[in-house]
Structure 1
Amino acid sequence: MSRPVIGITCYVEPATFTVWDMTTALLPYMYVEHVARAGGQPVIIPPAGDPAELAGRLDGLIIAGGGDIDPARYGSPAHEQTGYVRKFRDEAEFGLMRAALDSGLPFLGICRGLQVLNVALGGSLHQHLPDVVGHTAHSPAPGTFGRVPVRLSPSLAEIYRDDRVTPAHYHHQAVDRLAEGLEVTAWSDDDTVEAVELPGHPFALAVQWHPEADEDGALFDAFLSAAKRDG
């Protein structure tokens, strides 16, 4: 049986590699490794052309981490800490998200991916979480993951085989107004929304943490199982 084709969105940023210094479509390789280990065929999707047209050719979609969403999309002025906004990426990923949800394509959102899901469905974001919770544990320093305990709903606890985990975090934004139709399925101890699901969809789950940065691949295994069933 052929491997399910899993699209993963990516960054477009200036990058230096070997002898080159240029604008590059790039993605941390941890995403690729987890998808391949779980039995999928990873395909990186840059924000170019009309990625939404790809939805019908995929068996599953991951919207990966990245910079902040343009706050104009949820009717707010930009906070001074909002950064790395890439409007072309917003445009591509919001279209791809809508196509995935409309077609019932299995979907996994990671960090920014949760925020795209919430805003695409009409929700809003806290633009700088330390202003809300009073600490920086969710994003302790540039390029450094935090370890924040998370309480899981029964549906997520079934995937992780535990009702509490301490995954890798790197986010300074989080859900403010929850979009209609979404269900919160994980919380940190400071009550930050850490995961949401879309009931009624075959598999639409998004987490605020970074499962690709951990060895435990339970979330990718569950996602690939759904992609195999769908395919």
Structure 2
Amino acid sequence: MALPDTRQSDPAGWLQAVVDGLCELSSRDALTGPANRRQFELAMAREIDRVARAGEPALVLMIDIDHFKRVNDTHGHSAGDQVLRAVGQALHECIRPMDTVARMGGEEFAMILPNCPPAFGQTVAERVRNKVQMRPVNVAPGTDIAVTVSIGGAYAPQWVRSSAPLWIERADQQLYRAKQEGRNRACLEMPPVSHVSAEEKGLLFGHSQFQDLE
């Protein structure tokens, strides 16, 4: 959407609009539209702080497009880009204003879902999976292909200052399980992990996660 030319009547407002636009561009994945990896890391750091302070549940989902290499090999990289954009749009339609969806790179996406109780986690993950599955992607005139995703999910330990790599590792383990069990499925770490690792114990009274990303 074109911005009105306010350079003469409101130069400060025009400059702020330019800055806002640049910030928006720098936080988004250029191909698919969701947040980029850097923005995801910032959102995850905020959520880790919040979980440690408030003890509210938070779920992270790692989402991988099934057989994506086959799409590129069969239909070409332009078709692969169309699939990535379609999946990004489908995931965006699944989130609440408080949630974050991001492209992590390649065919992998991720979601952070604050205040998502364990009782609803599997339902949320299945809704995401179904949203993608029910949307064939048109990659050429008269050619639609079915796209599915595998999903792995894990909860951040409540009242504990964990770390992003530990949290993502747990979700990745569940993603691997989803792939091993046949793809096009969602596997969540249930019940939420109650064991606290030695590294997390060391972080319990550590500094804010935000400082690691400055």
**Fold shared per TM-score above 0.5:** no
| Structure (1 or 2) with the greater strand fraction | 1
TM-score (norm 1): 0.27
Q: Return the TM-score normalized by structure 2.
A: 0.28
* Structure with greater contact order relative to length (CA < 8 Å, sep ≥ 6): 2
Q: Pick the structure with greater CA Rg.
A: 2
